[in-house]
């Protein structure tokens, strides 16, 4: 194991941020993610979990916010519903330099918080 990262996002605070800055949706999330959450009656918890995933990836690599572009990491879903990470660009370069060959991701959310847990091997 190379590193682990966890991040927790307050859903209502995140909702307020997205309402105040609508352009944040496209600055942070890929079209794949936006399309995935679009049919949901309340997409904010899922978006908050995806935001947490990006931060958890940074933490698993021992990096801070801003180490790579938000679009360098996104969450994909298998047909089974299992989430996985897509890593590209600067994030992929940093992961390769750290020796990462495999990623593990777990997402969750309640009414109050969303969380992501990442392990890189």
Q: pTM of whole model > 0.85?
A: yes
Has residue 18 got a pLDDT over 90?
Answer: yes
- In the structure, what pLDDT confidence band is assigned to residue 79 with cuts at 50, 70 and 90? confident
Mean pLDDT, the chain, as a whole number? 95
Q: Which residues contact 23 (CB under 8 A, 6 or more apart)?
A: none
Has residue 32 got a pLDDT over 90?
Answer: yes
| 3-120 CATH pick, 2.120.10.70, 3.40.50.10420, 3.90.470.20, 2.40.30.10 | 3.90.470.20
- In the structure, what pLDDT confidence band is assigned to residue 81 with cuts at 50, 70 and 90? confident
Extents of the domains making up the chain:
3-120
Residue (of 119, 115, 91, 93) closest to 105 by Cα position: 119
Has residue 67 got a pLDDT over 90?
Answer: no
For the residues 80-100, what does the mean pLDDT come to? 95
Counting other chains too, the contacts that 101-110 makes at CB distance below 8 Å and 24 or more residues apart are 103/57, 105/53, 105/56, 105/75, 107/49, 107/50, 107/52, 107/53, 107/75, 107/83, 108/49, 109/11, 109/45, 109/46, 109/48, 109/49
* Chain segment 110-121, per-residue pLDDT in tens: 999 999 999 999
């Amino acid at each position: 194991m190379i590193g682990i990262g966890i991040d927790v996002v307050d859903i209502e605070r995140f909702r307020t941020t997205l309402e105040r800055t609508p352009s944040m949706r496209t600055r942070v999330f890929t079209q794949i993610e936006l399309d995935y959450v679009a049919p949901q009656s309340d997409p904010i918890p899922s978006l908050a979990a995806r935001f947490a995933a990006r931060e958890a990836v940074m933490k698993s690599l021992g990096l801070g916010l801003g180490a790579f572009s938000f679009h360098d990491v996104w969450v994909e879903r298998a047909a089974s519903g299992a989430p996985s990470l897509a890593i590209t660009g600067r994030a992929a370069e940093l992961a390769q330099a750290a020796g990462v060959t495999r990623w593990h991701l777990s997402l969750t959310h309640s009414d109050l918080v969303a969380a992501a847990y990442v392990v890189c091997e």
